[in-house]
Amino acid sequence: MEIHGLDRLICEHAFFAGMSQDYCELIGGCARNVRFDKGEYLFREGEQADEFFLIRHGRVALEIMAPGRGALRFLTLDPGDIAGVSWLVPPYRWLYDAQALELTRAVLIDGGCLRQKAEANHDFGYEMMKRFMTMLVQRLHAAQLQILDVYGTHG
């Protein structure tokens, strides 16, 4: 069966590689296309985390504001990456800012909508959780390497 529109974008995104078309359609029912100009924020610390973003084009910086130091960047995201994981767990609130460093196109997925579908279909929910868990473990390992400061003079 040929697939169209958002379902196709979702299935083609690296994060959902190999996902069944049925599941892509389920996700597509919670999705819409969005774009952010350079300097625009996808989300900001403290706001309600009701969605996540499949980045299709552009670059997004994750950063935390520090008094007197400005924005501290700790990760940049490129096409194929996911922006936003706080929608997964209560209290569903962003803990950092996400700023588009250039024109960025993404698919926004409504987190509440997706959580409902995952509750109703645990096979789907498990598939989603496996993908997010893989990404989270990769980011955890990367964060560990970053905080080790291996390039310091002791490194």
Partner 1 sequence: MAEAASVPIVCRVIARRRETRDTWTLSIDAGEFAFEPGQFNMLYAFGIGEIPVSLSGNPGAPGPLLHTVRAVGSASQAIAALKPGDPIGLRGPFGTAWPTSESAGSDVLVVAGGLGLAPLRPAIYRLFAKREQYGQIAVLYGTRHPADILFRREIQRWRRRLDATIEVTVDHADATWHGHVGVVTKLIERAAFDPGHTAAFVCGPEIMMRFAANALEAAGIAAERIHLSLERNMKCAIGQCGHCQFGPTLICRDGAVMAYDRVRPLLTVREL
Q: Which positions touch partner 1 (CB under 8 A)?
A: 59, 61-63, 69-76, 78, 80, 101-102, 141-142, 145-146, 148-153, 155
Q: How far is the CB of 154 from partner 1 (least distance, A)?
A: 9
Q: Which is nearer to partner 1, 32 or 38 (CB)?
A: 38
Q: Which is nearer to partner 1, 2 or 153 (CB)?
A: 153
Q: Which is nearer to partner 1, 28 or 58 (CB)?
A: 58
* CA angle, 152 then 146 then 75, to 5°: 130
Q: How far is the CB of 142 from partner 1 (least distance, A)?
A: 4
Distance of alpha carbon 154 from alpha carbon 70, whole angstroms: 27
Q: How far is the CB of 153 from partner 1 (least distance, A)?
A: 5
